[in-house]
Structure 1
Amino acid sequence: MADATAPFRIHGATGDWEVVVGLEVHAQVASQAKLFSGASTTFGAEPNTQVSLVDAAMPGMLPVPNRECIRQAVRTGMAIDATINPWSRFDRKNYFYADLPQGYQISQLYHPLVGEGSLEIEDGEMVRMIGVERIHVEQDAGKLMHDQHPSRSYVDLNRSGVALMEIVSRPDMRSPAEAGAYLRKLRAILRYVGSCDGNMEEGSMRADVNVSVRRPGDELGTRTETKNVNSVRFVMAAIEHEARRQVAVIEDGGTIVQETRLFDPDRGVTRSMRSKEDAHDYRYFPDPDLLPLELDEGFLADCRASLPELPDAKRRRYEGLGVTPYNAGVLTAEVEAARWFDALLEAGAAAGAASNWVTGELFGALNRLGLPIERSPVAPAQAAGLLALVADGTLSGSLAKQVFEAMLDTGQDAATVVEERGLKQTSDTGAIDAVIADVLAKNPGQLAQYRGGKEALFGFFVGQTMKAMGGKANPGVVNELLKKALAG
């Protein structure tokens, strides 16, 4: 992958090319029921067990909009500072496929619920604003299953009618890295807001990737659309492959065809699927079974009041408390980590020291255990107790590591571990002086070298003293007493 801090250019045989990327993200709305029916949306149910008469397009069944789905889409728009349209309308997108019982999809082409907004991303050291053209709500199709029988395909309609937000960016991204940053930032916002769980591996968030290439400064080229890419890594790989493929086609004298493609994650390539349809091919028209959506001020005010502190605002707050920009970025990248850290601060931990411990010790331990932070064996209040013992001198850094490991194993509070295992740090100068004297007596050669000018050996003596005291000596006191003894 190209360096994220440098302009992404494809160096072809005839010169440099620029890639232009836009993403259409389909995010499943967090709702217990579907967009136009009361059928469940629980993931992993047995095929065709969550299908209402509306979802199955039985004659005479009329759709009724789910208020919660509309609310979540509005809140998402507000989170990216987008225009919320108080009047919007549903349209029918007509096409035939086996997993679409109605023969059309209910979507919003002409009058979407949410208008223009933007997202701020970081690409290396650069901060860029990526435009969002619109967010509209639509119903998902069912799913075809081809691996159940050697000569037949089966249809599962559990997803039929599930509410989706289609979040359409402008073609403002210029590299795979920027597209990855945009997708990660969008997913984080959706999770903070609670409008989508962002689980791409379960299909609740996926991206259609629009890619074209051009000479820097030229007009936009012909784009292709790679459908249903289901991970950030795959999105970035699809962009890079598709851009290089297009450059090769053009430089060989060919032309790019506007088409729909699929990404093969095993081979890391895109494959042609079908020619790209235009809007008129779908014969869009207003859905006659649904009235326009009209949102009143009270509804919009309630949506806005329900928004949580969002990633950028939380990051700025952390930095204002003394957290480094890097740590603040790590802690706000996922809402679960931010919630855990907020609970740690509420328990009285100092922000700077706490952020270093969370991003270092805690994340390292959780990674080793294969656990997400919301399932940490050590609760935020317990972690605050551990950090307090370090801050007041009861524990040294090395002792704190031992106590933390014991807390992970037993679930006990730090104070209990310290008391039961006798791990309290000592500042007893008499005891430390005695150990230092013994260390110097056992290492006459190093002592002579130190006093002869090899001052780097000071660390050796510190280590030997701490080892002899089982890591329980106060490092500050050890350093002070060692300097006096070595100068002797």
Structure 2
Amino acid sequence: MTAKLIQGYEVVIGFETHAQLATNSKIFSRASTAFGAEPNTQACAVDLALPGTLPVMNRKAVECAIQLGLALGSQIAPRSIFARKNYFYPDLPKGYQISQFEIPVVQGGEVSFFLGEEKKTVRLVRAHLEEDAGKSLHEDFIGQSGIDLNRAGTPLLEIVTEPDIRSTEEAVAYAKELHKIVTWIGICDGNMQEGSFRCDANVSVRKPGQPLGTRREIKNLNSFKFMQQAIDYEIRWQIDQIEDGHAIQQATVLFNPDTGETRAMRTKEDAADYRYFPDPDLPPLVVAPEWVEQVRAEMVELPRVMAARFVADYGLPEYDATTLTQSQGMAAYFEETAKACGQPKLASNWVMGEFSRRMNAEELSIDQAIKKVRASDLGVVIKQIVDGQLSTSGAKTLFNHVWERGLQFIAPEGISSMIDQLGLRQMNDSGALEKIIDEVITANPANVEQYRAGKDKAFNALVGQVMKASKGKANPQQVNDLLKAKLA
């Protein structure tokens, strides 16, 4: 498909995402990774790089990396190497970061997602294990800065893509899909505000068919909203610079959400600037095939596997299946609804439609939304449509009634009583319906004549009049059948 152009330029985006791994202790020490502790209370001698200390690999962190590789269809390296990445910041106590360079533990793979109803796939280069740095704290009101080393040594997986993304919308959709995967399999809590899931976007522009442009890296995007704003601004800025005759300089930039602008923080380093070399304190990481298979056997059903099952078992379109597996809670809600009503496609339509609309409008989590309308009760509502007791509009009225009151049906008899109380029961009495149709035909001779002359819109107008006369209670299919019979 032809790439989207902005002012005649093609956008090229690649991502580097740091996912903090859900371990109780740090990647090379036993210090806690709990969030929110007082500064420098969770930094042990190993984290501080005191003389004589040695790093010891956290097995759980490796298992998290294996899980991600399996989830993304990557290769798990049987032997990978840790390296020292040398740079000098106040919050990096060693003067280097332990990371992986030449041989990462996770290699290749891909992330697929839907943008609208179009499926997109982003290829991955690698995912490598590394330790986090500390954090610089700037107290502007007293004009001082401090260093908190609680985060130093926190285990991270850095997930790197190929430059496959061609728009801001794709970038955000990719980041959301990756966020879904790491939280689904339980290797990261995904809390962007606390820094558990941090995205860096490498953005460049070029004329179609030209070599890749010079990229600028937007660091530490900690919300999907800011991600979209930052990339949009950076694209416009780069195009304006090029159009004004300026060359883009490779740089690391920060996004200011208050101004909506990016600003250069420093010139961007290349790999050679970090002087990588194998860490002499850590032996090669060996991952045996048996370990990989053990992790695979213990993993939850992956979203892409579950989506394929929804297609195979329920006959859902791929788009529906992918949308319903955005979270384990949503997937479970759909399955229970489908079981309750016996109509998987209708259940899908309602969960993706009315249920999701109300949930999103009120900014509820799936756990909060299911307390509004239980899956079993939504299944009962849908079954009333199938059984001819409710029209679709009547079912929506009933659904909203239940949602707003947090009501729960104890038995099918409960919903039957509620339908009658609200006056929503669909008219199935053919005699009463025929009387209404006769009256509509008599009152609308022009539409009758137009329909018999071959104008389908006239027929729809007659159907509308019947539905109006029945106060929306007539069965639409029955109206169509009886009306056509009388006009034949």
TM-score (norm 2): 0.83
Deviation readout 1:20-41 (Å, 9 max, x if unpaired): 3221111111223322233333
Q: What displacement does 1:296 show?
A: 1.4
Kindly indicate whether the alpha-carbon contact (under 8 Å) linking 1:77 and 1:84 is maintained by their aligned counterparts in 2.
Answer: yes
Kindly indicate whether the alpha-carbon contact (under 8 Å) linking 2:341 and 2:382 is maintained by their aligned counterparts in 1.
Answer: no
Aligned to 1:425: 425
2:483 and 2:256 map into 1 onto residues whose CA distance is 64
Aligned to 2:343: 350
Secondary structure, aligned partner of 1:206 = strand
Q: Cα gap change, 1:94/1:355 in structure 2, threshold over 3 Å: closer, same or farther?
A: same
2:377 equivalent among 378, 382, 385:
382
1:463 has 2:463 as partner:
no
2:276 and 2:365 map into 1 onto residues whose CA distance is 44
Kindly indicate whether the alpha-carbon contact (under 8 Å) linking 2:117 and 2:319 is maintained by their aligned counterparts in 1.
Answer: no
Kindly indicate whether the alpha-carbon contact (under 8 Å) linking 1:395 and 1:425 is maintained by their aligned counterparts in 2.
Answer: yes
| Aligned residue type for 1:7 | A
Deviation readout 1:106-148 (Å, 9 max, x if unpaired): 1112221112223335556765543211110111122222247
1:361 has 2:354 as partner:
yes
| Aligned residue type for 2:429 | T
1:479 and 1:8 map into 2 onto residues whose CA distance is 44
Deviation readout 1:237-273 (Å, 9 max, x if unpaired): 4334334433443444433322222122333322111
Aligned to 2:211: 219
Q: What displacement does 1:158 show?
A: 3.0
| Aligned residue type for 1:460 | Q
Aligned to 2:454: none
Deviation readout 1:168-221 (Å, 9 max, x if unpaired): 112233333333333233223223322223333332212222233334333333
Aligned to 1:229: 221
Aligned to 1:397: 392
Kindly indicate whether the alpha-carbon contact (under 8 Å) linking 1:436 and 1:482 is maintained by their aligned counterparts in 2.
Answer: no
1:361 and 1:347 map into 2 onto residues whose CA distance is 17
Kindly indicate whether the alpha-carbon contact (under 8 Å) linking 2:398 and 2:419 is maintained by their aligned counterparts in 1.
Answer: no
Q: Cα gap change, 1:167/1:407 in structure 2, threshold over 3 Å: closer, same or farther?
A: same
| Aligned residue type for 2:5 | R
1:322 has 2:322 as partner:
no
Kindly indicate whether the alpha-carbon contact (under 8 Å) linking 2:341 and 2:347 is maintained by their aligned counterparts in 1.
Answer: no
1:157 has 2:149 as partner:
yes
Aligned to 1:371: 364
Q: Cα gap change, 1:448/1:306 in structure 2, threshold over 3 Å: closer, same or farther?
A: same
Deviation readout 1:409-447 (Å, 9 max, x if unpaired): 24412625425435283666388469849x95xx99846
2:166 and 2:395 map into 1 onto residues whose CA distance is 46
- The 5 A counterparts of 1:163-182 are 163-182=155-174
Aligned to 2:72: 80
Q: Kindly, what percent of the aligned residue pairs are identical? A: 43
Structure 1 gaps of 5+ residues are none
1:404 and 1:371 map into 2 onto residues whose CA distance is 17
- The 5 A counterparts of 1:5-24 are 7-11=3-7, 16-24=8-16
Kindly indicate whether the alpha-carbon contact (under 8 Å) linking 2:339 and 2:379 is maintained by their aligned counterparts in 1.
Answer: no
Secondary structure, aligned partner of 1:249 = helix
2:117 and 2:384 map into 1 onto residues whose CA distance is 37
Q: What displacement does 1:348 show?
A: 5.5
Structure 2 gaps of 5+ residues are 451-457
| Aligned residue type for 1:418 | I
1:41 and 1:89 map into 2 onto residues whose CA distance is 24
- The 5 A counterparts of 1:406-417 are 406-408=401-403, 409-413=405-409, 415=412, 417=414
Greater Cα offset, 326-335 or 133-142 = 326-335
1:141 equivalent among 133, 150, 167:
133
1:306 and 1:338 map into 2 onto residues whose CA distance is 20
Q: Cα gap change, 1:31/1:417 in structure 2, threshold over 3 Å: closer, same or farther?
A: farther
Secondary structure, aligned partner of 2:102 = coil
Kindly indicate whether the alpha-carbon contact (under 8 Å) linking 1:429 and 1:477 is maintained by their aligned counterparts in 2.
Answer: no
Q: Cα gap change, 1:228/1:382 in structure 2, threshold over 3 Å: closer, same or farther?
A: same
| Aligned residue type for 1:370 | E
Secondary structure, aligned partner of 1:202 = coil
Kindly indicate whether the alpha-carbon contact (under 8 Å) linking 1:94 and 1:103 is maintained by their aligned counterparts in 2.
Answer: yes
CA-atom RMSD, angstroms? 3.4
Q: Cα gap change, 1:274/1:329 in structure 2, threshold over 3 Å: closer, same or farther?
A: same
Kindly indicate whether the alpha-carbon contact (under 8 Å) linking 1:407 and 1:417 is maintained by their aligned counterparts in 2.
Answer: no
Q: What displacement does 1:483 show?
A: 7.5
Kindly indicate whether the alpha-carbon contact (under 8 Å) linking 1:108 and 1:138 is maintained by their aligned counterparts in 2.
Answer: yes
Aligned to 1:336: 329
TM-score (norm 1): 0.83
2:26 and 2:341 map into 1 onto residues whose CA distance is 43
Aligned to 1:301: 293
2:209 and 2:426 map into 1 onto residues whose CA distance is 68
Aligned to 2:89: 97
Greater Cα offset, 418-427 or 387-396 = 418-427
Q: Cα gap change, 1:192/1:215 in structure 2, threshold over 3 Å: closer, same or farther?
A: same
2:394 and 2:482 map into 1 onto residues whose CA distance is 20
Q: Cα gap change, 1:127/1:411 in structure 2, threshold over 3 Å: closer, same or farther?
A: closer
Q: What displacement does 1:59 show?
A: 4.4
Q: Between Structure 1 and Structure 2, how many residues are aligned?
A: 472
| Aligned residue type for 1:8 | K
Q: Cα gap change, 1:368/1:227 in structure 2, threshold over 3 Å: closer, same or farther?
A: closer
Q: What displacement does 1:166 show?
A: 0.5
Q: What displacement does 1:96 show?
A: 2.7
1:206 and 1:270 map into 2 onto residues whose CA distance is 17
1:109 and 1:323 map into 2 onto residues whose CA distance is 42
1:31 has 2:23 as partner:
yes
Q: Cα gap change, 1:465/1:137 in structure 2, threshold over 3 Å: closer, same or farther?
A: same
Kindly indicate whether the alpha-carbon contact (under 8 Å) linking 1:99 and 1:142 is maintained by their aligned counterparts in 2.
Answer: yes
Kindly indicate whether the alpha-carbon contact (under 8 Å) linking 2:434 and 2:482 is maintained by their aligned counterparts in 1.
Answer: no
2:216 and 2:434 map into 1 onto residues whose CA distance is 76
1:203 and 1:336 map into 2 onto residues whose CA distance is 24
Q: Cα gap change, 1:396/1:173 in structure 2, threshold over 3 Å: closer, same or farther?
A: closer
